[in-house]
Amino acid sequence: MLRFSYQIKKKAKDKGDHRITKHGQVAEFSLREMNRNVEQVRKQAREMEANAKLQDSMAENIRRANPDLVAYMKKLTPKKRYALTMLAIQENKAKQFKDQEKQAKSILRTLMSEDKEVRKQLKL
């Protein structure tokens, strides 16, 4: 894993607005900007989790309303094929949202780790 060091480039009255330089990779940011990123990723993760639950519920409703779909796939009427298609769509959406949620949470962990390291190195 890459190791970074941090220095305060320009102090501000509010510590949250200090300009910080990241060494090992060129990046300049403030703690306030970092906190906004953390909150945005948290919000995205919550939204993805809620969407995944909604899609799972919708898929379960389709399964519950059409228990014969799996056993009788080859004998499906157009209406049943439509229901099966909707089931597949809902399950796929749920999986996509779960994957996006995992990705958002991974980014959040990285941001939280970096925030902790910045504060530790700069004693903020």
For 58, the domain range is 5-122
Task: Please give the pLDDT value at position 102.
Answer: 96
Domain count, the chain: 1
Q: What is the dihedral of CA 76, 80, 84, 86, to 10 degrees?
A: 160
Average pLDDT for 11-34: 88
28 is written with which tokens? 């300049």
Within 15-77, residue ranges assigned H as helices are 31-65
Type and span of the H or E element at 121: helix 78-122
Calpha distance 88→80 (Å, rounded): 12
Task: Please give the pLDDT value at position 110.
Answer: 94
- 1 — pLDDT class (breaks 50, 70, 90): low
Residue 23 DSSP symbol:
E
Task: Please give the pLDDT value at position 23.
Answer: 84
Backbone angles phi, psi at 27, to 5 degrees: -160, 140
Average pLDDT for 62-73: 77
Assessment of whether the complete model's pTM goes beyond 0.95: no
- 72 — pLDDT class (breaks 50, 70, 90): confident
Assign residue 123 a region: left if phi > 0, alpha if psi is -120 to 50, beta otherwise?
left
Instruction: Quote the distance between the C-alpha of residue 91 and its chain's center.
Output: 18
